[in-house]
Amino acid sequence: MCGVALPAGLRESDRLPAPIFTPATKAESGHDLNISEAEAGAIVGVERIGKLRDDTLALYGRGARHAEGRGILVADTKFEFGVLGGELVLIDEVLTPDSSRFWPADQYAPGRSQPSFDKQYVRDYLETIGWNKQPPVPTLPDDVVMRTREKYLEAYRLISGRELQ
């Protein structure tokens, strides 16, 4: 994955021995393009990619530890960085159901797809209707929107310890 060798024998949803850094860049169209750390270093510089790796893993570690203490496993996430005045800055939202895969810790069972508090519910619905991932995006039925909203609110409540009004 992005130039990182993964352990042999992994099953669906198995935890990795340690978090990994998997850089990506924007493609001309469509989804982000996964690249290796070496490829990313060639784009932004070896020193900068090292800092990005270290910052990314530290942010993930802190967020994952907090979430797990609240009953949520952060299976993966993405962070977006930019450069402002020559300095790296973290941009966009972080550790949300839109940028992460959140799994209920009490239901975690490797070897199968996991229940989730994230946008996987929407992805699964779009798979059931056979959407080809090309514009236009289909309109979501009210029940899919409401169930997704419920999942996001539950993730917020668990992670923050507060209700969102």
What pLDDT score was predicted for residue 135? Answer: 87
Do residues 103 and 15 touch, judged by C-beta distance below 8 A? no
What pLDDT score was predicted for residue 28? Answer: 78
- The pTM score is 0.88
Q: How far, in Å, CA of 83 to CA of 43, rounded?
A: 13
Token couple for 103: 């799994």
Q: How far, in Å, CA of 78 to CA of 94, rounded?
A: 7
Residue spans per domain, the chain: 24-160
CATH H-level, domain 24-160: superfamily: ATP-grasp fold, B domain (3.30.470.20)
Could you tell me the mean pLDDT of each successive run of 10 residues in the chain, 165 residues long? 88 95 85 91 95 96 97 96 92 93 97 92 93 91 95 94 90
